[in-house]
């Protein structure tokens, strides 16, 4: 179960981080205009950023717990 949780949280963290970087790049390069709803609600892409960090922390904590409990990485 721990291995599945680590895998899913890692991929969700990676996906959230990529979405956050793409939205940030679009905003910086002017792809999102001022009339866009995404620009007016700046917390929207920040939540992907913070979600990515949260999922990566969950993956690290779960992998650490599994390692301490069993003594092996796989």
Q: Is residue 61 part of a domain?
A: yes
Calculate the average pLDDT of the chain. 78
Q: Is residue 36 part of a domain?
A: no
User: Could you write out the three-class secondary structure of 45-57?
Assistant: HHHHHHHHHHHHH
Q: Is residue 9 part of a domain?
A: yes
Over range 49-62, report the average pLDDT. Answer: 87
Instruction: Kindly report, residue by residue over 16-29, the tens digit of the pLDDT.
Output: 888 888 877 877 77
Range of the domain at 23: 2-29+42-70
Question: Which of 52, 71, 59, 53 lies closest to 2 in space, CA to CA?
Answer: 59
pLDDT confidence tier of residue 2, bands split at 50, 70 and 90:
confident
Question: How many independent structural domains does the chain possess?
Answer: 1
Q: Is residue 35 part of a domain?
A: no
């Amino acid at each position: 179960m721990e291995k599945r949780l680590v895998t899913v949280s890692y991929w969700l963290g990676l996906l959230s981080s990529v979405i956050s970087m793409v939205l940030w790049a679009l905003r910086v390069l002017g792809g999102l205009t001022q009339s866009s709803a995404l620009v007016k609600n700046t917390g929207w892409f920040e939540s992907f950023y913070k979600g990515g960090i949260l999922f990566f922390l969950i993956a690290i904590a779960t992998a650490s717990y599994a390692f301490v409990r069993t003594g092996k990485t796989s």
